[in-house]
Amino acid sequence: MFIFKTIHNNKEYNDELIELLNSQWPRSFYSRQISIDKSNENLPYYLMMIMTATADHQSINELVGCASISKINSIENALLIENVLIKKQYRGKGYGRLIMNKIENISKEKGFKVGYLSTNDQKDFYKTLGYIDCEPISTSSFVQTTNNNNNNNNNNNNNNNNNNNNNNNNNNDDHQDKTSNLLKIFGGGSLKKRETIEPFWLKKEFF
Ligand X SMILES: CC(C)(COP(=O)(O)OP(=O)(O)OC[C@H]1O[C@@H](n2cnc3c(N)ncnc32)[C@H](O)[C@@H]1OP(=O)(O)O)[C@@H](O)C(=O)NCCC(=O)NCCS
Cβ proximity to ligand X: between 93 and 194 the closer is: 93
Site membership for ligand X, residue 52 (CB under 6 A)? no
- Are 126 and 117 spatial neighbours (Cβ–Cβ below 8 Å)? yes
Residues 5-24 that bind ligand X (CB under 6 A): 24
**Binding region for ligand X (CB under 6 A) out of 10-18, 48-56, 95-103, 157-165:** 95-103
DSSP string covering 123-155 = HHHHHHTT-EE------BSS--SS-STT---SS
Residues in 102-131 at the binding interface with ligand X, rule: CB under 6 A: 119, 122, 124-125, 128
Write the Ramachandran bin of 203: left for phi over 0, alpha for psi from -120 to 50, otherwise beta: beta
Rounded to a whole number of angstroms, the minimum distance from the CB of residue 199 to ligand X is 8
Residue 101 interacts with ligand X (CB under 6 A): yes or no: no
- As a whole number of angstroms, the distance between CA 70 and CA 77 comes to 11
Give the shortest CB-197-to-ligand X separation in angstroms: 12
* Residue 47 parent element (H or E): strand 45-55
Contact positions vs ligand X (CB under 6 A): 24, 84-86, 91-97, 119, 122, 124-125, 128, 169-170
